[in-house]
Amino acid sequence: MLTRKQHELLMYIHECMQDMGVPPSYDEMKDALDLKSKSGIHRLITGLEERGFIKRLPHRARALEILRLPENVEPRALPSRGGFAPRVVGNDTGGIPGARPLGQGEIVQLPFYNRIAAGQPIAAVPDETNHFDVPAAMLGGGDHYALEVEGDSMIEAGILDGDVVLVERCETAENGTVVVALVDEEEVTLKRLRRKGDSIALEPANKEYETRIFGPDRVKVQGKLVGLIRRY
């Protein structure tokens, strides 16, 4: 039997993983549940873990896994890494511009960019010979590319150095979305987007890094995170 707050937190985590593919931060949980401190979140998570609803994953920043939902909630499979509906694409990969089919279309090849070098926007690094194999069911419609992550500025969002993120090309994104952003036409970075009045904030997910604030004309969105692949 869950308390009201435990149920509310569990469903919030579930919704975030449905939409973003990663659990929310402790600050986001605190704000969502209108609590005054993160200590309350820690207690709720401990209670959910003791009751077998979630599992904390060791050696990973605030990583959580949902084991089950309350009986009165209809279970739905969580997406592997992103807020999209899984789909299988035929040999022509018609719904995925830029992707090339392999075999029977179960795997597609996306343009793959190695670790981003500061000073080079993605559009300036065309390498059509470098591709990354991705299960077609991980992608929705739209134009996608794969990108290797460099650094630890997003570890509290479950995005680690060396991970490969799947990105849907777009020029706009909602608040709170993890995006690939081009700053001042020269620096490319993976951060969470926040609009604050006339300014744009690029938020890291690591307390060791500071949020950077820019004018709206200095930041261009080049895509949003829709999936993640990790090699072990």
- CA distance linking residue 110 with residue 56, whole number of Å: 32
- CA distance linking residue 86 with residue 66, whole number of Å: 19
Instruction: Tell me the CA distances in angstroms from 194 to 12, 201, 215, one per residue in order.
Output: 20, 5, 12
Candidates 5, 30, 38, 153; catalytic one: 153
Tell me the residue length of the chain.
Answer: 232
Candidates 25, 30, 191, 220; catalytic one: 191
Q: Is 153 a catalytic residue?
A: yes
Q: Is 39 a catalytic residue?
A: no
Residue 23 DSSP class: P
Whether residue 218 contacts residue 184, with contact meaning beta carbons closer than 8 Å, is answered with yes
User: What residues contact 67, with CB distance under 8 A and at least 6 apart?
Assistant: 52, 53, 54, 55
Whether residue 3 contacts residue 51, with contact meaning beta carbons closer than 8 Å, is answered with no
- Residues designated catalytic: 153, 191
